[in-house]
Every structure is written in structure tokens, then in C-alpha cells.
């Protein structure tokens, strides 16, 4: 998608430097993907904090490992 945006030059320079993208498009794509991934993790952490994970009464890590190894 083609987008026109007004972004401060110093922010663009930082994004290019930190992402090591080949060009501005690749740099912005990398930065946006990483930002989206971080936001998803934050939302998941918030959800888990509100409703912690629970395990079945007979849960055993050894049982799960043996199933996964098959």
C-alpha cells in the first residue's frame, strides 16, 4: 500500500539506523512489525494477569514431554 506521511527526519534516521533496512520502506516495515508484535505481547500479558493460566488437576510436565517426544 502506498502511503504519504509526515514523519520527523530524526525519527526516520533512527528507524533506518536501528533496523538496518535496505531502504526506508523496509526499515519502516521492520519497525512496524516489531511494534505490532510488542503490542500483542503486552495485550496477552494483560489478559493473563487478569485471568491467570490454570492447569488440570493431573497435569504433569513429564507426561507432556513424553507425548511431545512421540
CA angle 27, 41, 57 (to 5 degrees): 155
pLDDT of residue 64: 87
Give the max Cα distance, the chain. Answer: 58
Q: Which pTM does this prediction carry?
A: 0.71
Phi-psi region of 26 (alpha: psi -120 to 50; beta: other; left: phi over 0): alpha
The string of DSSP letters for 13-25 reads HHHHHHHT-SSHH
Are the beta carbons of 58 and 45 closer than 8 angstroms?
Answer: no
Residue % of the chain over a pLDDT of 70: 100
Of 38 and 57, the structure prediction assigns the larger pLDDT to: 38
So where are the chain's domains? 22-69
CA-CA-CA-CA torsion sign (14, 20, 21, 23):
positive
DSSP assigned state of 38? H
Amino acid at each position: 500500500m502506498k502511503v504519504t506521511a509526515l514523519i520527523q527526519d530524526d525519527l526516520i534516521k533512527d528507524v533506518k539506523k536501528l533496523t538496518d533496512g535496505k531502504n526506508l520502506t523496509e526499515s519502516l516495515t521492520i519497525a512496524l512489525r516489531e511494534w505490532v508484535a510488542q503490542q500483542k505481547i503486552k495485550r496477552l500479558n494483560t489478559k493473563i494477569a487478569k485471568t491467570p493460566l490454570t492447569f488440570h488437576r493431573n497435569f504433569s510436565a513429564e507426561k507432556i514431554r513424553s507425548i511431545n517426544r512421540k
